Amino acid sequence: MTFVGKILVIVIMAFALLFLGVSTVVFTTHTNWKEATEKERKKVQDLTQKNSDLTASVDAAKKDLEKAASDHKQAVSQAEARIKSLEDEIKLAQNEVTAARAKLETVQQSANTALTLAEQRLSETNLLREQRSAVEKQANEYKLQQTELNDKIRDLERQTKTLDENNKDLRDRVARYSTLLRRNGLSDDISVVKGLESPPPVQGEVRRVDAQNRRVEITIGSDDGLVAGHELYLYRTKPVAEYLGKIVIQAVDPDQAVGKVIGNTVQGKKIKEGDVVSSTIPRPRS
């Protein structure tokens, strides 16, 4: 039931009670009907006026109600529109929150990845620092070694300079000695000189003797280790063993050599073919 219907019911009940009261008064009083009628008529007029006023009030209330209903409907429409707008805003906000959460998760993952990379970079940096420290230490050691090597190099350069000077001096001496040896008819070949220092153990025979008994050709040569300058003993074993003297080798071939008698033979004895030449003198048998 509407607000206007409630008002009309109340008004009708009021009129009913009023008429009931009037009827009750009419039946109970029974006196002065005209006056009473006039009074009642007046009351009816008053009631009619009140009814008109109430009707006007009801009409005004209806209008107010209709306006209120229209305002309520408009307010409801506005509220619904506002609610829809708010729902859209909430949905948009939720979408933004979801997107923000997704971005936040992405950022967190990126941050975790960056943190992991930072830790790896820190480890690599620490390792590189350690390696750099080791390299610097090794570089310092190399510098010390280089300093020592430079000192050694300077010492070696001084020694090399001294050796070069000594070598030059030795070359000059060797050249002078070679010249001196060649002037005296001796070989300056180092192999010949070394051979002279250590004559080989050889033994041969006289193959020929010159007319002056000064030069002999023997049956051993360079294949046996002889070089010019070697000195050999000369002796014979038949018919009796006797020492004759010494010869010096003047020229050598692979299988023969030529020697010259040093000084004179013992007691001027003649050298014969078949006499023995040797680097050593055999000891006589006891």
Residue 53 has pLDDT above 90, yes or no: no
Residue 60 maps to a domain: no
pLDDT at 248: 93
| Residue 161, domain member (yes or no) | no
Round to whole Å and give the CA distance between 95 and 188: 112
Residue 169 is assigned to a structural domain of this protein: no
CA–CA separation, 86 vs 93, rounded Å? 10
The pLDDT tens digits of the residues spanning 86-129 come to: 888 888 888 988 888 888 888 888 888 888 888 888 888 899 98
Evaluate whether residue 214 is within a structural domain: yes
Q: Which domain holds residue 204?
A: 200-278
- Residue whose token pair is 């936040």: 104
Query: How high is the pLDDT of residue 273?
Result: 94
247: CATH: 2.40.10.340
* Structural domain contains residue 183: no
Q: Into how many domains does the chain fold? A: 1
Exposed / middle / buried, residue 278 (Cβ in 10 Å: 0-12, 13-18, 19+): middle
51: in domain: no
Residue 121, domain member (yes or no): no
59-83 tens-digit pLDDT: 777 887 788 778 878 888 888 888 8
206 falls within a domain: yes
For residue 168, pLDDT over 70 is answered with yes
Torsion, CA 71, CA 76, CA 79, CA 80, rounded to 10 = -150
pLDDT of residue 187 exceeding 50: yes
